[in-house]
Chain A
Amino acid sequence: MRIRFSPFYLFFLIGILLVAAVVLRVEKKETEHKIVVVIPQDPDYLDPHLASAAGTYEMMFNVYEGLLKPAPDGTLLPAIAERYDITEDGRSYTFYLRPGVKFHNGQTVTTADVRYSLERLMGTQTGQPLSSYFTKVEAVETPDAERIILKLKEVDAALLNNLTTASIIPKDYQELNTHPIGTGPFRFVEYRPGQRVLLEKFDDYWQTGRPFLDKVEFRIIPDREAALLALKNGTVDIYPRIDNNRTAELGEDFYTLRDKQNLVQLLAMNLNRKPFSDHRVRQAVNYAINKDELIELAAFGYGTKLGSGLSPAMANYYEPGLEDFYPPDRAKAQQLLAEAGYQDGFRTVLTVPSNYPFHVDTAQIIVEQLKKVGIKVEIELVEWAVWLQRVYKGRDYEMTIIGLAGKLDPLPTLIRYTSDYANNFFNYKNTEFDRLFQQAADESDQEKRAELYKKAQRILAEDAAAVFLMDPHYTVALRKEIAGYQTYPLYIQDLSTVYRVSKKPR
């Protein structure tokens, strides 16, 4: 008998496999009021006092709360503190605890918990501060069960804004990093590295009626293409920070929201290196770059032009008009280069972190724009770890592109340009700027403070400390049936107001 190698054998096998695959795929009926948000990376620490990654904060914002909370318009809302008083001299803040706020473990928040949380951040017991935001706080006092008093060594105008990030945690609770407990609208359920972070509704949330959703899942998908497919196929409901050029292909089942994201994308020039030590060369580069064209080509039109180290998202502090301080002017750029002794231009290297495709795209356009005035730029792509080590810490670069995320307060953003700040990788030094910055930090009157910051921004622009490119708009794509999403001028996914239209909020 001959053995037959019939092709039918193969088709048969393939058939079995495909049928098995389809049968095995058990369609789950959606009965829960749940939403899946796709995020590109794992959280760094679940302990809010150790975490610093923006990607962690945007998730855990739903789990932890501070005495105060940011509002979508960038103002402050009372959270665990119901209200607060500030003394005339700005040296003493009294917060009144909101009664009946519960932790996810059922305990009621006490002033002792608040004190413990703040002192943990300040390093009062350990001698090792976990945050640099509260160095001006001398003592946290809790005279009774209602009041928390912060005594300051000197005026700290950024204190209220900084308190939004000071999460309140249960006193002496040791397992924050594995089983986070906060007071937010959602309770932490589980974290599977590389897969997901799962949250569920906290029934005893102090804000009655919130949240609407029963469950929230943050699905970790690093690949942008895969994330897009997951959104299209219904695995994922919300895709924050979707590429602007990909929204068109989403079709009718989706809608998008856009806003400024308080990010300063800039082209830094190493001021300690020739030729960028020359003020005229930096100005020439500024004149040579056409920001409108850049926004059109790199961000597909979705970006806001910048002129200083702050984004207009910080409306109270932003100095308007600086974005046109250096209108695109090739002749002027060439003239300035000639004055500086570079009539034939020069060669330089632009170092870009390869994990940010947006910065890489921007770099390519900038190369073309600078070529037109005779500056020949070579792009050098480096891994993020190398960028941090060599460019950011080591300040060993000529030009680089990076996005610096803004906070609620201008202080942490503008401190980067002060002469002796450890992370001033621009190597920017200007005593007048330092003076204004210090004056603003010591000023308790918010309006006067804003004036000082505006003056400081003008100096940054005049000195051409960098080329301040744009605040690329944050675009979030959502399924049609999802409503209630709010955008913030911060890196936040607030899901407490989100719901499915089919499961209307009560």
Chain B
Amino acid sequence: MIKMRYLPGKIFSCVLTLWLVSLLTFIVFQILPGNPAQIILGAEASPEQVAALEKELGLDKPLSLRYIHWISGVFRGDLGNSLRYARPVRGLMVNSLKVTLPVAGMAIIFIVLFGIPLGLAAGKYHWHKRGVLLSVVTQLGTAVPSFWLGILMMLALAKLFSYFTPGTFIPWDEDWLGALASLIPPALTVALPKVAVLTRYVGAAFVEEESADYIRTAFGKGLAEKKVFSNHLLKNILISVTTVLGLMGTDILGGSIIIEKVFALPGIGRLLIEAISFRDFPLIQAIALYLSGVVVLLNLLVDLSYSFLDPRIRWR
């Protein structure tokens, strides 16, 4: 089981990764042209106004100093103030995550709920007409670009059922049912191409494992088909599924910039675009930290879950 030697090393490497990402963001930022004060004020502002705002925002100090200030704040749990919104980064992040995380959560539920059963069906009927049909459909599903799917979904829902309108995201504290309902279409849009991918993946794993020796042995010793599936086949398929789900999870939790744009959702993807176009250094750093944190954490979780799924994999 969990050896104590394993975890500290892993956590150290995670923290190191996070720091390297923030350093990289900082370096890229140094090259990027653009002055936040000028962008905030636009072309109408007088030079005096720009100068005053630069001072107000602390932009007259070198970026390296601002980076050190920022990172020392992070260790105290303070993410600093956004330049663009003139309010704490933490609050902005929380607000955006209130949109992105529910969408991601629902999308992952959809993916697992549809992807795994469909994949098993695809594997089982691999040589059958139904399997071929499924294969064609999932091939299409993986090929369709998500922004197009999103626009189609929006038009269909808006035109046919007048059910959904973009930009209707209702704050949770006002009407949580409404908020949840307004997030279902984007969640479906995020989920559908991934369902197709997972279906193909599970199907392929099914076909591969089905012809493995241990399955033949299991049948040979007289096990019922149901038992063979649940005790032997499913378990082996789940290992590869976990890897794919982990990869998908990092993708989804980052908030789809494209989907959020199409559905006009105020999520983390949109916040990131805004932060970049305004050269909002503290906000970009915080979002980069979150995104890399998600990747690192999910990878860690996937690693840990292997040992539960496969007795051969044990931490050294």
* Chain A residues at the B interface, C-beta cutoff of 8 Å: 1-3, 5, 7, 9-10, 13, 17, 21-22, 24-26, 28, 38, 42, 44-45, 50, 52-54, 128-132, 177-178, 192-195, 219-223, 225-227, 229-230, 232-236, 355, 383-386, 388-390, 392-393, 402, 404-405, 412, 422-423
A42, B44: Cβ atoms closer than 8 Å: no
* Cβ-closest 9 pairs across A and B: A385-B34, A194-B266, A5-B121, A233-B165, A226-B264, A226-B166, A24-B181, A422-B47, A221-B167
- The interface on chain B, measured as residues whose beta carbon lies within 8 A of the other chain's beta carbons, has a size of 70
A42, B35: Cβ atoms closer than 8 Å: no
Provided the pairs A226-B166, A233-B158 are in contact, do residues A52 and B114 lie with their beta carbons within 8 angstroms? Answer: no
A25, B266: Cβ atoms closer than 8 Å: no
* Chain B residues at the A interface, C-beta cutoff of 8 Å: 33-35, 38-49, 52-53, 55-56, 84-87, 92, 95-96, 113-114, 117-118, 120-121, 124-125, 151, 154-155, 158, 161-163, 165-169, 171, 175, 177-178, 180-181, 184-185, 188, 224-226, 229, 261-264, 266, 270-271, 274, 277-279
Max chain A Cβ within 10 angstroms of own Cβ: one of B43, B48, B180, B262: B43
Please report the C-alpha to C-alpha distance between residue A26 and residue B169 in the assembled complex, in whole angstroms.
13
**Chain B residue, CB-CB nearest to A54:** B44
Query: Which of A5, A222, A423 interacts with B264 by CB under 8 Å?
Result: A222
Tell me how far the C-beta of A73 lies from the nearest C-beta in chain B, rounded to whole angstroms.
22
B95, A26: Cβ atoms closer than 8 Å: no
> What residues of B have a CB within 8 angstroms of the CB of A404 in the complex?
43-44
Max chain B Cβ within 10 angstroms of own Cβ: one of A5, A128, A222, A384: A5
**Chain B residue, CB-CB nearest to A36:** B167
- Tally of contacts, chain A with chain B, CB under 8 A: 178
Query: Which of B33, B44, B87, B188 interacts with A52 by CB under 8 Å?
Result: B44
Provided the pairs A194-B270, A388-B39 are in contact, do residues A24 and B177 lie with their beta carbons within 8 angstroms? Answer: yes
Max chain A Cβ within 10 angstroms of own Cβ: one of B33, B56, B120: B33
> What residues of B have a CB within 8 angstroms of the CB of A229 in the complex?
154-155, 158, 165-167
A53, B41: Cβ atoms closer than 8 Å: yes
**Chain B residue, CB-CB nearest to A55:** B42
**Chain B residue, CB-CB nearest to A13:** B113
Please report the C-alpha to C-alpha distance between residue A192 and residue B87 in the assembled complex, in whole angstroms.
11
> What residues of B have a CB within 8 angstroms of the CB of A385 in the complex?
33-35, 39, 277-279
Provided the pairs A53-B40, A402-B43 are in contact, do residues A129 and B52 lie with their beta carbons within 8 angstroms? Answer: yes
Please report the C-alpha to C-alpha distance between residue A232 and residue B224 in the assembled complex, in whole angstroms.
58
B261, A223: Cβ atoms closer than 8 Å: yes
14 contacts between A and B (CB under 8 A): A3-B226, A24-B178, A26-B175, A132-B48, A193-B85, A194-B95, A221-B264, A222-B270, A223-B261, A229-B165, A230-B167, A235-B165, A389-B33, A423-B47
